């Protein structure tokens, strides 16, 4: 049983680190979007002719940055999940079910983050 305890503690450590990375990337993405939003607000304060041109450019840039953050985030999550898969396969059924629930909650959290980022970019 010491092996199972080692595996579960390693899974816990990796899951915790994954959550920290996910939250960190989300915070960075939101911060980046907020900076872009502030820039947009400055541009909107300019005269209308310049503002409308810049509005389109800033909107495009925000959308591009949000997509870049999302892609980077998905790459990190994919790598982490791939590295955990061999460990998950060795777990007992109940532990595997628990890990699957964690994955599902993680997917839901990522979708909520994407929705928030899309709302900020719109």
Q: Per residue in 10-50, pLDDT tens?
A: 888 888 888 888 888 888 888 888 898 888 888 777 666 66
Q: Report pLDDT for 85.
A: 82
Task: Render the burial of 10-23: b for 16+ CB within 10 Å, e for the rest.
Answer: ebeeebeebeeebe
Domain count, the chain: 1
Distances (CA, A) of 105 to 53, 62, 64, 100: 41, 27, 27, 9
90-113 tens-digit pLDDT: 888 888 888 888 888 888 887 887
More confident residue, 8 or 1: 8
**Domain of 45?**
2-121
Reported as type and span, the H/E element at residue 36 is helix 2-44
User: pLDDT of 53-103, one tens digit each?
Assistant: 777 777 788 778 878 877 887 888 888 888 878 888 888 888 888 888 888
């Amino acid at each position: 049983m010491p092996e199972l305890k080692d595996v579960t503690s390693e899974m816990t450590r990796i899951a915790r680190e994954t959550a920290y990375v996910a939250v960190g990337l989300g915070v960075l993405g939101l911060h980046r979007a907020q900076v872009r939003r502030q820039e947009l607000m400055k541009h909107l304060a300019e005269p209308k002719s310049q503002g409308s041109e810049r509005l389109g450019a800033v909107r495009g840039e925000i959308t591009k940055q949000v997509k870049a953050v999302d892609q980077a985030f998905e790459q990190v999550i994919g790598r982490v999940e791939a590295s955990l898969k061999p460990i998950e396969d060795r777990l007992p059924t109940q532990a595997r079910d628990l890990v699957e629930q964690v994955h599902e909650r993680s997917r839901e959290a990522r979708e909520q983050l994407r929705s928030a980022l899309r709302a900020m970019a719109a």
